[in-house]
Amino acid sequence: MDDAEHFEDPDAAEGAEDQEHLDDLDDIAPLIPQENFEIGDSVVYPHHGAGKVLKKEMKTVLGESREYLTVKILHNDMTVMVPTENAAAAGLRRVMDEDTILKVTAVLQDECSEMPKNWNRRFKHNRDKIKTGDIYDLADVVRNLAVREHQKGLSTGEKQMFTRARRILVSEMMYALSMDEEQVDAHLSSVILEGAGNATPVGVGSE
């Protein structure tokens, strides 16, 4: 039964993993090159999507004063606060530039990469790629799931993952291409369909 599954709310699981990630930032932040983010900067926060830096202010948390960035996520109006010194370690980065847009478009039009046949392993495989925060990994997942949805259909869990991954990608492309959500969504569909002629079977790999 390839597409029958029972699993916990992926958003809840992601939230718990995000908190664990944030708890570890103080240990790894000194090893990550720092980037200076300012109010008004368009940025991307891993697992959530693109947004803008609204505030940069000192706050006292648990008796410790440090500077925090407040980022408003574009597609869901959620706000997140990240210590400025840990922003890069948390994966906060600037919205992709023109060169990166071209490379992401090439990924979206490329042949599908190999994925496990078993839905559970395939789900974990794609989830792990999204968690890297890498824009090319995200584009790879969006393309693969879009093609699989067209060819074979997606399980319930994969549909939720596809919706979330596509939303994150669309939110960043809105800033990068200066388009609204509807325009970017249509553009993304067109790009993927244009490359669909090169698509290879997506259900390959080990069971």
Alpha helix ranges (H) inside the chain = 10-23, 25-28, 98-109, 119-131, 135-151, 156-177, 181-195
CATH topology of domain 96-198: Methane Monooxygenase Hydroxylase; Chain G, domain 1 (1.20.58)
Longest dimension (CA), the chain: 58
pLDDT > 70 fraction of the chain, expressed in percent and rounded: 78
Weakest mean pLDDT among 123-127, 134-138, 201-205: 201-205
Q: What CA–CA distances, in Å, run from 116 to 40, 47, 82, 83, 168?
A: 41, 22, 35, 38, 23
Residue 189 has pLDDT above 50, yes or no: yes
Q: What pLDDT score was predicted for residue 207?
A: 36
Joined together, the tokens standing for residue 12 give: 């809840």
pLDDT band at 28 (very low <50, low <70, confident <90, very high): very low
Q: Which residue ranges make up each domain of the chain?
A: 13-94, 96-198
Q: What is the pTM of this model?
A: 0.73
Give just the sign of the alpha carbon dihedral 98, 90, 66, 50. Answer: positive
Give CATH for domain 13-94. 2.40.10.170
Nearest by Cα to 51 from 35, 70, 34:
70
pLDDT digits (tens, 9 = 90+) for 37-70: 999 999 998 888 899 999 999 998 888 899 999 9
Residue 200 has pLDDT above 70, yes or no: no
Which residue pairs, CB below 8 angstroms and at least 24 apart, start in 5-13? 5/119, 5/120, 5/123, 5/155, 5/156, 5/157, 7/123, 7/157, 10/127, 10/157, 10/160, 10/161, 10/164, 11/164
Residue 197 has pLDDT above 80, yes or no: no
Residue 1 has pLDDT above 80, yes or no: no
pLDDT band at 34 (very low <50, low <70, confident <90, very high): low
Q: How far is Cα 114 from Cα 1, in angstroms, rounded to an integer?
A: 20
Q: How far is Cα 82 from Cα 18, in angstroms, rounded to an integer?
A: 12
Residue 169 has pLDDT above 50, yes or no: yes
DSSP characters for 145-159?
HHHHHHHT---HHHH
* Per-range mean pLDDT, top range of 27-31, 51-55, 153-157: 51-55
Q: What pLDDT score was predicted for residue 3?
A: 42
Residue 8 has pLDDT above 80, yes or no: no
Q: How far is Cα 68 from Cα 83, in angstroms, rounded to an integer?
A: 4
Secondary-structure percent of the chain, ordered helix, strand, coil, rounded to 5: 50, 15, 30
